[in-house]
Amino acid sequence: MPNGVRRARQAFAFFEGACARGIYDNVKTAVDAIFVGKDRAHNRRLQQMCGHYLVDLVACTPASGWEKGQVEHQVGVIRRRFFVPWPKFKSYAELNAWLEDRCLAYARTNMHPEMRDRTIWEVLEEERPSLVPYVGSFDGFHAVSASVSKTCLVRFDKNRCSVDALAVGRLVEIRTYADRLECWQDGRIAGSHERVFGRNNTVYDPLHYISVLARKPGALRNGAPFKQWDLPIAVRRVQRKLERQPGGDRQMVQILAAVLSDDLDAVEAACAEALSHNVHSAGVVLNILARRREPPPPLTIATPDALRLSCEPAANCDRYDSLRRTRNETLRGAGRNGPVEALRHEDGL
């Protein structure tokens, strides 16, 4: 069901509105049970999504393909229109971006099949006000609880993924989307990964194990989470230099720990600057990072009119000469010991 929710969410965001009625097939991901006639026990997440967008949920009749014949026909039309010859892409995101551009270009340049005097895009703009107003994106995830092992891993759908080491020994809530997993604990994200399908896959995020490296810096060389860590070139060069000297692993851990407070790009730039000066120690890299951090801008405080001075003070140090004693002046006693009270001239101050 996460895929269906994502597709509907993206469609409603694109059209800037939702349809008043949504007709769904009787697939297992959308329908939990089929009763008499049109009565269905729909998926809970699907019902929540339709309630969010104010869509009236309607089910198809079982074994009645003619009810959605136009949908099946459009699949073939789109396939022949945009996927001949078959294009190749590196990811689904790249494919979807390309397909969206092609569809928009086609809609703006081709006439509507029934209204020959207007383009498809013009008809869409005319019908857009008839849609149910868009109320924002629906967070359509499926949540399950899982415990975190001592190796900072959680198991979901016969696969494992890492979370922050601070979450070890406690439960996390795994929120599954069509393309990613999010592990939540105490109101914060303890881990986020792209969704992996199949079995017995383990997905690591090396940053989740930085606090572990502080206790076991030697794991940086042979630990499973770090074997496939593709570090930037400058950071990798610093690591190779530190590996050849005593205590180098611990220094490298200090540099990598800065990625949590600064970002990886800032650490890479600091390593590159250190290498340009023929140095590579952790102290130098961290010092460069500290110098590059911009201080927060000062707060601008507006002074109320009641506190504004009607007469601004003059910066004139000669006024203090009026406090100096002359030889003929006498001091008035200030208590049992006699001296001292300087003569003050209020007009001078």
In a domain, 305, yes or no: no
| Number of other CB atoms surrounding residue 193 within 10 Å | 17
Predicted pLDDT at 349:
45
User: Residues 187, 215: one domain?
Assistant: no
In a domain, 147, yes or no: yes
In a domain, 338, yes or no: no
Q: Among residues 261, 276, 292, which one ends one of the domains?
A: 292
Helix axes 282-292 and 248-261, enclosed angle (nearest 10):
20
In a domain, 345, yes or no: no
User: Residues 127, 8: one domain?
Assistant: yes
The structure tokens listed for 2 are 């996460």
User: Residues 60, 126: one domain?
Assistant: yes
DSSP conformation letters of 119-162:
BHHHHHHHHGGGSEEP-------EEEEEEPPTTSEEEETTEEEE
Q: Among residues 188, 203, 218, which one ends one of the domains?
A: 203
Q: Where are the alpha helices (DSSP H) in the chain?
A: 2-15, 44-53, 69-82, 92-109, 120-127, 210-213, 219-222, 224-227, 233-243, 248-261, 264-276, 282-292
User: Residues 189, 230: one domain?
Assistant: no
Predicted pLDDT at 329:
55
The structure tokens listed for 201 are 């896959």
Closest CA to 101 of 112, 93, 113: 93
User: Residues 180, 70: one domain?
Assistant: no
Q: Among residues 203, 221, 244, which one ends one of the domains?
A: 203
- What length does the chain have? 349
Counted domains in the chain: 3
The span from the CA of 156 to the CA of 195, in Å, is 10
Predicted pLDDT at 40:
85
The span from the CA of 259 to the CA of 210, in Å, is 9
- Which structural domain range is residue 157 located in? 142-203
User: Residues 266, 218: one domain?
Assistant: yes
**If DSSP codes are grouped into helix, strand and coil, which group holds residue 184?**
strand
In a domain, 320, yes or no: no
User: Residues 225, 192: one domain?
Assistant: no
Over the chain (349 residues), the average pLDDT of each successive run of 10 is: 80 90 83 83 86 88 72 85 89 89 92 90 92 87 89 91 90 89 92 88 90 85 85 91 88 90 90 91 91 81 83 80 64 46 45
Cβ-contact 220, 197 below 8 angstroms: no
Predicted pLDDT at 23:
84
Predicted pLDDT at 247:
87
Predicted pLDDT at 172:
92
Predicted pLDDT at 268:
92
Predicted pLDDT at 327:
54
What is the Cα 345 distance to its own chain's centre? 65
Q: Position of tokens 């989470």?
A: 225
Predicted pLDDT at 326:
57
